[in-house]
Amino acid sequence: MTTNWSLFHKHIGAKPRQFFEVRLLGKAVWHATGMAETWGTDALDELASPAAAQERYDALCAEAVAAGFTPTRQLEIDLNRLDAALLAAEIRDGARNAFNAMRAAHPDHTMNGFALMSDESAMTIVPMANSEQALADDGGADYIRFNPGEWSFFEEGAYLDVAYRMILPYHRDIPNEVDIDALRHWVFGACAQALRMLAEEGLFGSPAERDAVMVQFQVTDGDGDDDVIDELNTATVVQRYKAWCKK
């Protein structure tokens, strides 16, 4: 199989712990390694020819496997073409694992909120969740109910490390022609689509249960225009949210 991007991980259970990443860029090879959810340390090797670069790329992939890393993704990626469906699927799968891990870590809690959060530069994707018990411990205010940044559970972001690696090239010195507006549209749209798909598969509960569950995509330092509320929630939840907003 022809690839120009190879991503490897070491895991704790099913959760990515460390990554090793290699990209073939014409006559150069870029590679990085470090802990999941971090940039890690990177290097760019300039080679004499595309053939030499391919040989270096293959050697680094072999080194990753020899060091105990497991192949996670090996794809042909055009950094100038933003594949919305691919990113949404990666976010969906990572978020599903993250939210299920949060549930498993708090089996005595009734979850009442699930969210994905990014930032204005479209660099991060953070899964968040909350429960009725955690909300009560924090005072029970709607301000907390409707603000993922105030929620209690956010420790499973490593499950989204594949999607994170797909976004990071646009924030590093890796050549591409994507501007910030296109990047925001790509990342924010994929996060919202991932949540829609998870809602459709029933991850957030049955239709009746959804009246007690808030699902959001939110840009933490944005102006609110990119936040998604209406299409991810039942009419009951949206009505309560809008009533709170009016206050």
pLDDT tens, 156-199? 999 999 999 999 999 998 999 999 999 999 999 999 999 999 99
Residue 227 confidence class, pLDDT cut points 50, 70, 90: confident
Length of the chain, please?
247
**What DSSP assignment string belongs to 90-123?**
HHHHHHHHHHHHHHHH-TTS-EEEEEEEE-TTS-
Residues with Cβ within 8 Å of 156's Cβ and at least 6 positions away in sequence, in order, are 15, 97, 98, 99, 101, 102, 127
At 36 the pLDDT is 98
d(CA 4, CA 54) in angstroms, rounded, equals 9
Contact 18/10 with Cβ under 8 angstroms?
Answer: yes
Contact 113/215 with Cβ under 8 angstroms?
Answer: yes
Gyration radius of the chain's alpha carbons: 20
Contact 138/148 with Cβ under 8 angstroms?
Answer: no
DSSP bridge pairs for 42: 32
CATH of the structural domain 5-75, one choice from 2.20.140.10, 3.40.50.620, 2.40.30.60, 3.40.720.10: 2.20.140.10
Give residue limits of the domains in the chain.
5-75, 84-246
How high is the mean pLDDT of the chain? 96
In the numeric block, which tokens belong to residue 98? 């993250």
Q: Are strands 28-35 and 41-46 parallel, antiparallel or unpaired?
A: antiparallel
Phi, psi of 228 (to 5 degrees): -120, 120
pLDDT digits over 86-121, tens only?
A: 999 999 999 999 999 999 999 999 999 999 999 999
- SS3 of 200, please? helix
Phi, psi of 35 (to 5 degrees): -80, 150
Looking at residue 225, the DSSP 8-state letter turns out to be: T
In the numeric block, which tokens belong to residue 200? 């459709």
pLDDT digits over 191-222, tens only?
A: 999 999 999 999 999 988 999 999 999 999 87
